[in-house]
């Protein structure tokens, strides 16, 4: 199993100097850097090439994540909104290929976070999303990209809240390059038993996010890491396990992730680095024995 981390642990906006983060996370001991696909769309081709070459030189893997904005929702009842969503998917996949990134996950099947002031019809949204994701999968396949449907909690979206739901969703899409993506933070809210949820996903599990119940780095909360590790061993999980902690207030990241207090306790960059390096030692010890 390879271990990674999301760049936004250190940032307050969904864009950072991904080139610099390549060496930073490699020096901390990680195998993978996860970046924002939205940020990738803002980069010029020269920047993307520079990042890709740096990652290759460091033998560092790259993955990406994104939540689609409401005006590009591929599950929308409005055909023009769905069209914009598919256009965003097309542009994103082309950039991912240019960056050498073969996996993108998140709420790419709908909008994120959902605005609950608006009514919704879950079966209708499900059907439209499945139709859009079938088209997206065919597009992504042509560029060597796997789409990972992230299970998120009920407060962020209503469509796919559990491993069981996501397995049904992925099977409805019915494309080999569409996989389940789980996140321990969301699982802690929605699943009865985290190990069972992982076993439910089984061979369809393509990506895993790691975070504590409070969104701190692994080891600074009360998540059942032994149970999670056993579930992963039971399904012989060999794909990436990427940390996605959020501990800083402020900016777009703090607002959208709902970090309303300083979970870092005033940590500077040196302290943040030390905490996530220790978290990596912690999860490697849990998952690799």
Active-site amino acid positions? 150, 244
CA distance 231 to 27: 29
Q: Which helix H or strand E contains 87, and what residues bound it?
A: helix 79-99
CA quadruple 35, 62, 48, 90: dihedral sign: negative
Cα-Cα-Cα-Cα dihedral of 12, 14, 16, 18, to 10°? 140
- Per DSSP (E only), the strands in 107-235 are 146-150, 178-183, 205-210
CA distance 154 to 75: 17
Enumerate residues 6+ apart whose C-beta is below 8 A from 124: 77
DSSP structure class, residue 111: B
CB 168 within 8 A of CB 195: no
The closest of 221, 200, 196, 199 to 211, measured between CA atoms, is 221
CA distance 251 to 257: 10
Length of the chain counted residue by residue: 289
């Amino acid at each position: 199993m390879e271990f990674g981390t999301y760049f936004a642990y250190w940032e307050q906006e969904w864009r950072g100097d991904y080139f610099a983060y390549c060496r930073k996370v490699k020096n901390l001991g990680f195998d993978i850097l996860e970046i924002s696909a939205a940020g990738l769309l803002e980069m010029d081709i020269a920047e993307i090439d520079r990042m890709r070459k740096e990652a290759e030189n460091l033998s560092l893997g790259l993955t990406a994540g994104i939540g689609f904005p409401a005006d590009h929702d591929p599950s929308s009842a409005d055909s023009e909104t769905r069209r914009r969503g598919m256009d965003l998917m097309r542009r994103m996949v082309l950039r991912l290929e240019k960056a050498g990134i073969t996996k993108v996950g998140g709420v790419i099947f709908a909008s994120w976070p959902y605005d609950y002031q608006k009514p919704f019809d879950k079966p209708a949204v499900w059907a439209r999303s499945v139709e859009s994701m079938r088209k997206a999968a065919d597009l992504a396949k042509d560029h060597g990209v796997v789409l990972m449907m992230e299970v998120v909690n009920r407060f962020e979206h209503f469509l796919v809240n559990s491993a069981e739901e996501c397995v049904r969703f992925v099977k409805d899409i019915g494309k080999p390059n569409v996989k389940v993506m789980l996140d321990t933070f969301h699982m802690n809210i929605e699943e009865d038993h985290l190990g069972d949820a992982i076993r439910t996903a089984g061979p369809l599990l393509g990506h895993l996010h790691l975070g504590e119940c409070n969104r701190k780095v692994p080891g600074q909360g009360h998540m059942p890491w032994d149970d999670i590790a056993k579930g992963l061993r039971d399904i012989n999980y060999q794909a990436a396990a990427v940390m996605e902690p959020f501990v800083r207030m402020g900016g777009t990241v703090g607002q959208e992730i709902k970090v309303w207090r300083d979970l870092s306790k005033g940590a500077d960059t040196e302290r943040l680095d030390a905490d996530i390096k220790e978290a990596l030692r912690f999860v490697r010890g849990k998952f690799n024995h």
